[in-house]
């Protein structure tokens, strides 16, 4: 049984994230979505809020689990028995960053592989930051955020 871990901030989760999750969940027996807590990053949604938002979006995927952690990603992967880290790539800038992360993780634990999934073209521009900025100005985020959570995200961000 091969387990994979998809780490990220998911502040909030986007349609691009969901696409990667669905594709990865079809490739692996179990997929853990890990909300990684980075004290240097200022998040809009609490860990608990992000966990609830993600669970609403993946409830139909029986092999997907949501966890959170503030440790090194490879340590969490090892603790969960995951042999693969999933990373989404939208553009060349993502690749450069993700390559350095993957290389660092490989040095920390060479038994854990990183698999890059390329974003579908319709999601290649999409980020949580863009969705949040649109929502702050009461813009329509339904093309960016999963339908199940649009209302909650809009309420939180539009002031």
Average pLDDT over residues 124-142: 92
Tell me what pLDDT residue 40 has: 84
55-63 CB contacts, 8 Å cutoff, 24+ apart? 56/146, 56/148, 56/149, 57/13, 57/18, 57/146, 57/148, 57/149, 58/18, 58/21, 58/33, 61/21, 61/22, 61/25, 61/31, 63/25, 63/28, 63/29, 63/30, 63/31
Average pLDDT over residues 2-14: 97
Tell me what pLDDT residue 92 has: 85
Tell me what pLDDT residue 57 has: 97
Annotation says 90 is catalytic? yes
Selecting among 41, 42, 111, 159, the annotated active-site residue is 41
- Nearest of 159, 158, 123 to residue 143 by alpha carbon: 123
- Given a cut of 70, whether residue 159 has pLDDT beyond it is no
Annotation says 41 is catalytic? yes
Selecting among 17, 50, 87, 132, the annotated active-site residue is 17
- Given a cut of 70, whether residue 157 has pLDDT beyond it is yes
pLDDT in tens, 91-104: 888 899 999 999 99
Average pLDDT over residues 7-28: 97
Q: What are phi and psi of 149, to 5 degrees?
A: -125, 5
Selecting among 15, 50, 90, 132, the annotated active-site residue is 90
Domains of the chain: 3-124 (3.40.50.620)
Annotation says 87 is catalytic? no
pLDDT in tens, 45-69: 999 999 999 999 999 999 999 999 9
Annotation says 65 is catalytic? no
């Amino acid at each position: 049984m091969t387990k994979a871990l998809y780490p990220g901030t998911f502040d909030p989760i986007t349609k691009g994230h969901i696409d990667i999750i669905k594709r990865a969940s079809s490739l692996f027996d179990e997929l853990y979505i890990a909300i990684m807590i980075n004290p240097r990053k200022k998040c809009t949604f609490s860990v608990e809020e992000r966990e609830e938002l993600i669970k609403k979006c993946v409830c139909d995927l029986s092999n997907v689990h949501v966890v959170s952690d503030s440790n090194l990603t490879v340590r969490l992967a090892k603790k969960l028995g995951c042999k693969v880290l999933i990373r989404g790539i939208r553009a060349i800038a993502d690749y450069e960053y993700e390559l350095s992360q993957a290389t660092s993780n490989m040095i920390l634990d060479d038994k854990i592989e990183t698999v890059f999934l390329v974003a579908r073209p319709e999601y290649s521009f999409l980020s949580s930051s863009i969705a949040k900025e649109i929502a702050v100005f009461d813009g329509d985020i339904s093309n960016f955020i999963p339908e199940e959570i649009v209302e909650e995200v809009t309420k939180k961000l539009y002031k």
